[in-house]
Chain A
């Protein structure tokens, strides 16, 4: 087997690459990946592609993951025991960045993979060995069941119960706003195993198959009309106790562990994708300008500002990703990354909306429809995974050390 001579862009048959080299040498990984992305013709089908609905998009992104998996690229950064090729978060960050730079989307299932993969690998290595390889291949993806009808920002008030019966848990209750929930093969849920009043002390994390008897899933559309979310009902669904992720009663700790990736990797992914979309927007605006269109006053300054915000987010986020890779615990300061990413999302898609003007409201092309869908989705940046207000409160409490909020 030859080693990666990634400096030569003609030598990019992934089969020729020794994974140990790319695992141990980030630069070699980045070079080889970029060369492959620039030269592999099969990838063109995922450039500038539009889908009739989100179900087809996620399924096709699954196929895209299969291509990336067979070439090895999305396996770096994940342990070999879970279907990966070794390496750390920096490989994954380089992977997302390189896709965006090559004009390719980041496959949608990777978003939840970044949130759910690390805690499953850490707290339930057998489950990771059993199921993560299929996830990396794009054959399945998972949903995150945290929020409930009555538990949003106040997650610790959740009520979905898991009752221990022999070697199983019996789940009853429901989950709401589960991303990719309607197409997921598996769900990772935070459930109550303690008393109803036990707050965060009585929670456990458990993985279950979406087709477990007693589980019903109802798709929920965002205002764009896209079924991005789902509501999940549990009617005495029986789950093996071996599916616990972490110990019984330790669900909150698992959730806090998970948040490190949910905030840090999501921020990096958003920044990578935002730069690609800003590039798209600039191109579309240039075409319109060439056709004699006029931009609203202040457009140039706003474009400059959004670009700089993306770079600020990347600056912060790269440092956080490196800390995760070094094994540091990323605590409440990750809320800074989350606030910055929300700022980028909101201002980028507001800019797109304003620059496209009447076209945004009236236009029927796939391109404009995509901007509208993403505009709606961008509004979630200040809501999901801890709202803008919750993040500010975390910073006030745990970073600035201000006296606690008045009750």
Chain B
């Protein structure tokens, strides 16, 4: 295992001063260590601590996060590292943590559940070892005026409030996901009782920032999944022979793979751009939503082409490909799937939202 000392960005020798953040060689080294750790399975949080990940992250949040989540996606790993990303952004709005926390993700896009109803949401894994679950909630606007204020949240309509629920309470209402991707280890929470719960704290724009950070991380994870699927398709079509030649010599196959490559590259470029505004007060929410949208399109396109060019193999359990199809679809759903995000974005634009150029030279 690489020691923390060797993986933090060391100043490069030579005349020019080292640029801030990770250089290419260090990043490559780190990616290798991450691959090892992820291949071993086991407790990712502990392994990252051993790698000195906190220092790497502090040094270059953009590159470190992208690296970690890309490898996570490539390895089809399941862990709570995404919780860490969102909880770090929510921390300023929460009482100091005294115990391990997890996050309940909204089922629908970035719109948290209404606290007056029974809570629903997604958990990234079982709550073993977790004491508290942070639950974002939002009073649906419009309903507040004529309804009795049972929750003591009057005046917070439309704004997100954070509640901390005991893990046992949420765990009792949690079921392992038995959907498209059973391997993700996620749980759906349906009808968790809200009370008796601690006080609700207004999230301010911490929720907006958390969602933005989560979307950038998810875009990286989807990038990793897409790269892995494309690599499978390239390898399969190059090796597989029909009509006396490798099927990757057929133009229809080649062009599908080229389109998949374009999808991945555009995602990668837009993710770099999205990190450029991460330091803004709203956490770079606009660009983060765009890149999550792009990631959703990219996974749809890459998987459609990869499955087709692999023939029967691509839709059977004989190949690993199906695991990337299912995983990236699940990741697309988290914090807003591409259809919902396009609709939301377009509605805002029709309503007069600025057509931001986002990218400058």
Contacts and interface: CB of A to CB of B under 8 A. Distances in A.
A304 B261 contact: no
A200 interface: no
Contact of A406 (B237, B249, B345, B355): B249
A304 B357 contact: no
- The CB with the most chain B CB atoms within 10 A, among A312, A393, A395, A406, is that of A312
Contacts of A404: 249
Nearest to B231: A400
Q: B interface, how many residues as a size bin?
A: 35 or more
B273 to A, nearest CB: 4
Given A318-B361, A404-B249, A405-B249, A340 B266 contact: yes
Contacts of B249: 402-406
A35 interface: no
A314 B290 CA distance: 12
B361 A305 contact: no
B92 interface: no
A139 interface: no
Chain A residues touching B, majority SS: helix
Contacts of B250: 405-406
Nearest to A93: B361
Contacts of A318: 273, 359-361
Interface in A281-302: 282, 285-286, 289, 295, 299-302
A403 B238 contact: yes
Given A301-B342, A396-B254, A315 B269 contact: yes
A352 to B, nearest CB: 14
Contacts, number: 157
B245 interface: yes
A308 B341 CA distance: 10
A314 B358 CA distance: 8
Interface in B233-268: 234, 237-238, 245-246, 248-251, 254-255, 257-259, 261-262, 265-267
A72 to B, nearest CB: 18
B319 interface: no
Contacts of A389: 251, 255
B298 to A, nearest CB: 9
B350 A314 contact: no
B352 interface: yes
Q: A interface, how many residues as a size bin?
A: 35 or more
A392 B238 contact: no
B332 interface: no
Interface in B25-43: none
Contacts of B258: 339, 391-393, 395-396, 399-400
Given A282-B349, A340-B266, A403-B248, A94 B293 contact: no
Contact of B272 (A286, A315, A391, A392): A315
A275 B257 CA distance: 29
Contacts of B348: 304
A50 interface: no
B262 A339 contact: yes
B146 interface: no
B352 A312 contact: no
B257 A315 contact: no
Contacts of B339: 301
B345 A307 contact: yes
A94 B361 contact: yes
B238 A275 contact: no
A392 B343 contact: no
B215 interface: no
Contacts of A93: 361
Contacts of A101: 357
A307 B355 contact: yes
Interface in B315-358: 339, 341-350, 352, 355, 357-358
B261 A275 contact: no
A322 interface: yes
A275 B355 contact: yes
Given A311-B358, A389-B255, A396-B258, A402 B238 contact: yes
Given A314-B358, A315-B359, A319-B272, A301 B248 contact: no
A201 interface: no
Contacts of A336: 261-262, 265-266
B270 interface: yes
Contacts of A402: 234, 237-238, 248-249, 254, 257
B74 interface: no
A279 interface: yes
Contacts of A189: none
B294 interface: yes
B355 A392 contact: no
B254 A392 contact: yes
Interface in A370-407: 389, 391-393, 395-396, 399-400, 402-406
A302 to B, nearest CB: 7
A90 to B, nearest CB: 5
B356 to A, nearest CB: 8
Contacts of B261: 336, 395, 399-400
24 contacts: A97-B361, A282-B355, A299-B350, A302-B346, A304-B341, A304-B344, A307-B345, A311-B358, A312-B266, A314-B357, A315-B272, A318-B273, A318-B361, A321-B361, A336-B266, A339-B258, A395-B261, A396-B248, A396-B254, A396-B255, A396-B257, A399-B258, A400-B254, A405-B250
9 closest cross-chain pairs (CB), A and B: A304-B346, A304-B345, A300-B346, A396-B254, A395-B258, A392-B258, A303-B346, A314-B359, A304-B342
